[in-house]
Amino acid sequence: MVITTRSLFHALAVNTALLACIFIATPAPAATCSETDAEALGWLAKMSRSYREVAYQGVVTFQRGGDLQVMQIARSVEVGESSELLTRLTGQGAQVVRAAHPLDCTHPGQQLLQLGDQLPASGCGMAEYYRFQVGEGDRIAGRQAVRVGIQPRDMYRYGYVLELDRETGLLLGISTLGRGDQLLERFQFADLHYGEPESPQRVVETVHPARHPHPDVADEGPALTASWSVSWLPRGFTPTDSAEAVSPRRTYTDGLAVFSVFLEQLSRELRPGEGVVREGSTTSYTRGMSLAGQPMLVTVVGEVPLNTARMVADSIRLVR
């Protein structure tokens, strides 16, 4: 998910640049939405709005396989701005801080999730790529939840089970599911209090400011000598940035999942082969390639299955 405390945890883990402000054109509707799809999209839009409107503090758990992390999160909302502080309570203590974040900044997931409020009767938005089921959820951190089950319509993305606060729409818990409904990771509030944070936050030695680049600003580092493109994407994935054609990074989202593609020009050829690292729902796929006679290192990182990352890497082309 793009707009959740999970995003801040990933910033703590890998300090990626997936939190850029963007403005995406609304895709044209293509099919008729069922009542279930419309209800689910409404809840997703409410979840997205809660990110702008709700201040809170609490304790969350984050589970990947046998690894369980516990974190404290505090979020304040002031006039036109919000601030977040995420503190890791287990293992090596560390914090992610994002201060004075403008509320009018639209993130990839927000823009697409809010289609639930914007689509006409003939459109169904993400329901073209996911099947939805809405029902009564569990009681989480003392709050009654609405459960939104999300199943992919193809093999190129994961499924999810969301638990949303019935009153505010805040995301109370999320499970990410792989093939055969295999649990990849789970995030959930253990304690939650609404309102501006009051108690002093824990002080730790390691503090990471969350990166928040503008989408029209290219990544730091040497630009490529040739422009490039990704010629295949799973249906529904949209670019989140408009960086220069020679920028070494592209980022895409379908409103729920996000992945980035990095291209590095090498001075010499690499041996054939590929490298894969998987942590929960996050895949990192790397391969040396020759593009138009130039040796390149391609890396795809994000919340997509391995085959999706491999097919995206296969589709990269240099543009003459």
Given this structure, which CATH class describes domain 227-319? alpha beta
Collapsing DSSP to helix, strand or coil, 190 comes out as: strand
Per cent of the chain over pLDDT 70 is: 73
Who contacts 135 (Cβ-Cβ below 8 Å, separation ≥6)? Answer: 146, 147, 149
In the predicted structure, residue 193 carries a pLDDT above the cut 80: yes
In whole angstroms, give the CA distance from residue 310 to residue 285.
7
- The residues that bridge with 131 in the sheet, in sequence order, are 151
- pLDDT at residue number 144: 97
191 vs 17 pLDDT, higher one: 191
- 166 pLDDT band (50/70/90 cuts)? very high
pLDDT attached to residue 279: 92
Sign (positive/negative) of CA torsion 163, 307, 297, 223? negative
Cα–Cα distance between 25 and 28 in angstroms, integer?
9
Please choose, from the candidates 141, 107, 104, 129, the residue with its C-alpha nearest in 3D space to the C-alpha of residue 11: 107
pLDDT score of 13: 37
State the span(s) of the chain assigned CATH 3.30.200.100: 227-319
Check whether 300 has a pLDDT greater than 70: yes
pLDDT at 215 exceeding the cut of 80? no
| pLDDT at residue 142 tops 50 | yes
Q: Which two tokens stand for residue 288?
A: 């040396």
pLDDT of residue 111: 52
Name the residue with higher pLDDT: 53 or 175: 175
81-107: b or e for each residue (b if 16 or more CB lie within 10 Å)?
ebbbbbbbeeeeebbbbbeebeeebbb
Query: pLDDT band at residue 21, thresholds of 50, 70 and 90?
Result: very low
CA atoms of 167 and 145, how far apart (whole Å): 8
**Comma-separated ranges of CATH 2.50.20.10 domains in the chain:** 5-209
Instruction: Answer whether residue 89 shows pLDDT above 50.
Output: yes
Burial class (CB in 10 A: 0-12, 13-18, 19+), 268: exposed
Q: Calculate mean pLDDT across residues 260-275.
A: 85
Mean pLDDT score across all residues of the chain: 79
Residue 81: predicted pLDDT: 80
3-class SS of residue 19: coil
pTM of the model: 0.81
The topology under which CATH files domain 5-209 is outer membrane lipoprotein receptor (LolB), chain A (2.50.20)
Q: Does the pLDDT value for residue 188 go beyond 70? A: yes
CA distance 198 to 42: 32
